[in-house]
Structure 1
């Protein structure tokens, strides 16, 4: 129901949500079926950072979303969005969609270097169509679900979503390779510890039991650097905080400290490098 969506940070723009919704929990995954007529709503994070990923299958209706401060229209059947970032969606006619809301950390074993941009896809692959049908059945079912079945549904959704993200983001390395497993561990550690000012590549290498040189070589093979991923994770948290009006009482310096940056200057440089926007512009250009 709408109360479930409100608890997840969804609210109508300029009034009530104006939709019918059903939310079902399967372990760490939420499956949400939503329908309505013309309406506009937004999803804001319950806390700073990018805690979840939304996999959204649009079943009916044309929608518009904000990209770079402008509305962009689409009839695409698939949207993948980091739901920890504020974003707004507008439907102008009857519509319906089904969503899998997945903890970000659950996807790191599949795609350790997750994009934090909203992605729109014009066509569905056969596995994606199967995932859409599975989610529809999961959210529409009226039967009571046993704990064992909930666990099974949770694992199936995570597996389908992980493989979809992996394919869509074009990862070429083997998930089971030693280098991939090490990157998984390090990316998870970065996500958990990025707010710590003392976090650096040398400490991550020590915690993983490998040399710094080896760790740097593993990330270099994936076209990345350890320091760069630490900075990127901190920038994600800073961007989310700056774009949420509930945290407007925090100064730029406070946001920098909360995100793990040593100073407002280092945060500004990171945001300008990654997002091409400074902190004040991020607070102004809210989606």
Structure 2
């Protein structure tokens, strides 16, 4: 369910707090140029979102990511200091407080004096629910809007806090960051959502998650909403408008998997309870209710229909 998770891509656990010194940063492909790195960082994981704050003194460093072309996007806010970056062999000075770029790009940066920045690393797929266009070019912006300043404050306070985040806290922070980051990208990179288009995209993402992870018994409507970065209430409203519900679509997918297993000759040795568990149901009773609701048949009847079909053929 969390394949598209920035913390998981970086090898970090959800709700974890991780500190990086020079050795750990070097392991991530960040090295000082002609001197020590002079840099430390702290990362916090909130659902699919990774928030990192880094600081140090004047230094020049080069980033050669261990894993290039990461499926994530960085929104980086410079909180203190100025920097220069190497662009086609030319050093360019930037005072822009916001940089938007695909993660994993190699780069070389000079920072003067004390500096600090905070970055949100977000899966591309999660952002596509909120922004119809994602530009793969690096962009630097010299003025922050009010919403961008608010996002920077949220990121900074979230990563600096030592307070343990509950699962509900992590989901709320992740959802808020996704919605705010999506608004930033829509404004900065162009593209607008019609409400109907956005709701269709959200519904499609939820159904795709159900199809890919529906057999995971831990998957429920709340986790589905969290996985695509929207509130459960909003997701339920979208499905209700189409005459269905998140829970019903999840049961439908599990019933489909169970039916396939029941009609598969290779699964004849599996009992009803085994099939229920493989399909993601918590019990054989839940399986029977779902099969009755969607197919008006029970496990034995489905197996019997399959056996008759195989005998006739």
Q: Shorter-chain TM-score: which interval?
A: 0.5 to 0.7
Q: Kindly report which structure 2 residues correspond to 1:1-287, keeping only aligned pairs within 5 A, or say none.
A: 1-2=20-21, 5-6=25-26, 8-174=28-194, 176-177=196-197, 181=201
Structure 2 vs 1, CA of residues 170 and 160 (structure 1 numbering), >3 Å: closer, same or farther? same
Decide whether the 8 Å contact of 2:83 with 2:109 is kept in 1: yes
| C-alpha distance in 1 between matches for 2:183 and 2:164 | 28
Secondary structure in 1 matching 2:96:
coil
Highest Rg: 1 or 2?
2
**TM-score w.r.t. structure 2 length?**
0.54
Q: Once superposed, what is the RMSD of the aligned Cα atoms?
A: 2.5
| C-alpha distance in 2 between matches for 1:37 and 1:66 | 19
Compute the displacement of 1:110 (Å): 2.6
Structure 2 vs 1, CA of residues 70 and 164 (structure 1 numbering), >3 Å: closer, same or farther? same
Secondary structure in 1 matching 2:73:
strand
Deviations 1:46-75 (A, max 9, x none): 334242111111011110112222111011
Q: Which runs of 5+ in 1 are unaligned?
A: 189-287
Structure 2 vs 1, CA of residues 34 and 113 (structure 1 numbering), >3 Å: closer, same or farther? same
Compute the displacement of 1:102 (Å): 1.1
Deviations 1:90-110 (A, max 9, x none): 102111111111122221223
Decide whether the 8 Å contact of 1:4 with 1:23 is kept in 2: no
Structure 2 vs 1, CA of residues 167 and 43 (structure 1 numbering), >3 Å: closer, same or farther? same
Compute the displacement of 1:113 (Å): 3.3
Structure 2 vs 1, CA of residues 9 and 103 (structure 1 numbering), >3 Å: closer, same or farther? farther
Q: Which has the higher contact order (CA 8 A, sep 6+)?
A: 1
Aligned residue number for residue 268 of structure 1: none
Q: Which runs of 5+ in 2 are unaligned?
A: 1-19, 209-313
Decide whether the 8 Å contact of 1:43 with 1:83 is kept in 2: no
Compute the displacement of 1:44 (Å): 3.1
**TM-score w.r.t. structure 1 length?**
0.58
Deviations 1:131-165 (A, max 9, x none): 01101100111111112211211111111111111
Compute the displacement of 1:6 (Å): 4.3
